[in-house]
Chains A and B, each alone.
Chain A
Amino acid sequence: NAGVMQNPRHLVRRRGQEARLRCSPMKGHSHVYWYRQLPEEGLKFMVYLQKENIIDESGMPKERFSAEFPKEGPSILRIQQVVRGDSAAYFCASSPPSGTDTEAFFGQGTRLTVV
Chain B
Amino acid sequence: GQQVMQIPQYQHVQEGEDFTTYCNSSTTLSNIQWYKQRPGGHPVFLIQLVKSGEVKKQKRLTFQFGEAKKNSSLHITATQTTDVGTYFCAVVFNDYKLSFGAGTTVTVRA
**Is A105 engaged at the interface, CB distance under 8 Å to the other chain?**
yes
Q: Which residue of the partner chain A has the closest CB to B89?
A: A42
Q: Which residue of the partner chain B has the closest CB to A45?
A: B97
Complex CA gap A35/B33 in Å reads: 16
Interface size, chain A (Cβ < 8 Å)? 26
Whether the Cβ atoms of A42 and B102 lie closer than 8 Å is: yes
Interface size, chain B (Cβ < 8 Å)? 24
Whether the Cβ atoms of B101 and A109 lie closer than 8 Å is: no
Complex CA gap A93/B37 in Å reads: 14
Whether the Cβ atoms of A100 and B30 lie closer than 8 Å is: yes
**Is A98 engaged at the interface, CB distance under 8 Å to the other chain?**
yes
Question: Can you report 29 A-B residue pairs in the complex whose CB atoms are below 8 A from each other?
Answer: A31-B96, A33-B98, A35-B100, A40-B105, A41-B102, A41-B103, A42-B88, A42-B100, A42-B103, A44-B100, A45-B98, A45-B99, A48-B96, A48-B97, A56-B96, A56-B97, A93-B98, A98-B95, A99-B95, A100-B30, A100-B95, A101-B48, A101-B50, A103-B45, A104-B43, A104-B45, A106-B42, A106-B44, A107-B42
